[in-house]
């Protein structure tokens, strides 16, 4: 049974990616600020190692960059319209990021790291849908 659920899940994910990829082709992202994404990517790559090293200051700085970027991304896609999935992903990313902030504040590295992985996964999900192919 579990095998079938896994197969069905991957099939739906693939179908969704293809459908969203076709939808992406119709969306003009020419005014998208790629520097925001670069900053977020750098912060996302650094957040896990910062947490792993117990460097709370660096982790907080990375989380702040991610929050700023997710706020910008949500606003961008709300204004763009027709991109409800991107808006939802930005909001979900902000929820996961709130867990990162709370866990850092509580000095709970394990929970912070788990929440950081959720943020990373969320970013990857949005990139699967919207990151321009070069």
> In this structure, are residues 101 and 64 in contact, taking their beta carbons and an 8 Å threshold?
no
Work out the number of other CB atoms within 10 angstroms of the CB of residue 31.
8
Q: Give mean pLDDT, residues 103-120.
A: 95
> In this structure, are residues 131 and 108 in contact, taking their beta carbons and an 8 Å threshold?
no
How many residues are there in the chain? 134
Q: Give mean pLDDT, residues 118-126.
A: 92
Confidence (pLDDT) at 3: 57
Q: In the chain, what percentage of residues exceed pLDDT 70?
A: 78
Q: Tens digits of per-residue pLDDT, 17-66?
A: 444 444 444 677 778 788 999 999 999 999 999 999 999 999 999 999 99
Please give the Cα distance from 131 to 28 (Å, whole number).
Answer: 12
Confidence (pLDDT) at 21: 46
> In this structure, are residues 129 and 85 in contact, taking their beta carbons and an 8 Å threshold?
yes
The architecture (CATH level 2) of 29-130 comes to Up-down Bundle (1.20)
> In this structure, are residues 113 and 41 in contact, taking their beta carbons and an 8 Å threshold?
no
Hey, where are the domains in the chain? 29-130
- For tokens 């990313």, what's the residue? 93
């Amino acid at each position: 049974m579990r095998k079938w659920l896994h197969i069905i899940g991957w099939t739906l994910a693939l179908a969704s990616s293809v459908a969203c990829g076709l939808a992406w082709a119709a969306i003009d992202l020419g005014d998208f600020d790629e520097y925001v994404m670069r900053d977020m990517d750098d912060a996302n790559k650094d957040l896990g190692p910062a947490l792993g090293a117990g460097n709370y200051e660096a982790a907080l700085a990375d989380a702040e960059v991610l929050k700023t970027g997710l706020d910008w991304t949500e606003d961008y896609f709300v204004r763009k319209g027709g991109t409800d999935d991107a808006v939802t992903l930005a909001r979900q990313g902000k929820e996961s990021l709130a867990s990162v902030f709370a866990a850092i504040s509580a000095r709970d590295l394990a929970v912070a790291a788990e929440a950081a992985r959720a943020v990373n996964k969320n970013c990857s999900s949005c990139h699967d849908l919207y990151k321009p192919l070069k």
